[in-house]
Amino acid sequence: MSTKSPDLHAAYALDSPEDHKRLYAEWAGDYDDGFAAREDYQLHIHTARAFVSAGGQGPVLDVGAGTGLCGAVLAGLGVGPIDATDISAEMLDQALRKDIYRDAIEADLNQGIPVPRDSYSGIVSSGTFTHGHLGPEALPALLNVARTGAQFALSINAKHYESLGFADALHQLAHGQIQNLSLPEVRIYGDLAAGPNRDDTALIAMFEKI
């Protein structure tokens, strides 16, 4: 188990894939009981429920799965099978201990995902598309592994939706690659959160692959 407490500002300051691997290797053992519990983290619940409400079904790829928080909610809602992908082997090790994933795929999404095209009927991501993590340049890789008609539910930090290019990227994709785009806004943290980011929100990008 890690001896370093998860710190949100450290995550937002990440610059490179190597930084991600190093930080999340340190966080993996404490993430659920440390950061998620202390900050009353809720985004994974909102994302999973939005996916199911839109009719999402498996097989699903959980992108930036981390320790499997979102996947656990999906499994509890009867969705499956679910595969996990993350840049951190240590995070995926924690996720596999939840016994909810069919497979775990260690990958840097900016370099693509090592699975066949058209593998998934659903793509979900909670907490990964934000400052210091993945930007909109990873969206084509997700579309490549999704089937026609696949349901997407991708949380995007509201503070970075415009500034990091997500708005422009989704607008462009809406011209022939995706349809039925909606952007419900949700709170990232619950009422018990007390940190400086307690009032942060996220947009859940809901759409279907054409």
Residue 2 forms part of a structural domain: no
Instruction: Band the pLDDT of 22: cuts 50, 70, 90.
Output: low
Residue 21 forms part of a structural domain: no
Look up the CATH number of the domain holding residue 153.
3.40.50.150
Structural domain that includes position 151: 41-209
Residue 25, both tokens: 């290797």
Residue 4 forms part of a structural domain: no
Residue 8 has pLDDT above 60, yes or no: no
Give, as one character, the DSSP assignment of residue 87.
Answer: S
Residue 150 forms part of a structural domain: yes
Q: What is the pLDDT of residue 36?
A: 55
What does pTM read for this prediction?
A: 0.84
* Mean confidence (pLDDT) of the chain: 86
H or E stretch at 186: strand 185-187
Residue 36 forms part of a structural domain: no
- Report the pLDDT averaged over residues 5-32: 49
Question: In 3D, which of 4, 133, 141, 2 has the Cα closest to residue 61?
Answer: 141
Residue 6 has pLDDT above 50, yes or no: no
Residue 59 forms part of a structural domain: yes
Question: In 3D, which of 200, 174, 208, 163 has the Cα closest to residue 46?
Answer: 200
Q: What is the pLDDT of residues 99-121, one digit of tens each?
A: 999 999 999 988 899 999 999 99
Q: What is the pLDDT of residue 68?
A: 95
Question: How many Cα neighbours within 13 Å face the side chain of 184?
Answer: 17
Residue 153 has pLDDT above 60, yes or no: yes
**Total of domains in the chain:** 1
Instruction: Band the pLDDT of 4: cuts 50, 70, 90.
Output: very low
Residue 175 forms part of a structural domain: yes
Residue 11 has pLDDT above 50, yes or no: no
Residue 32 forms part of a structural domain: no
Question: In 3D, which of 192, 114, 122, 195 has the Cα closest to residue 153?
Answer: 122
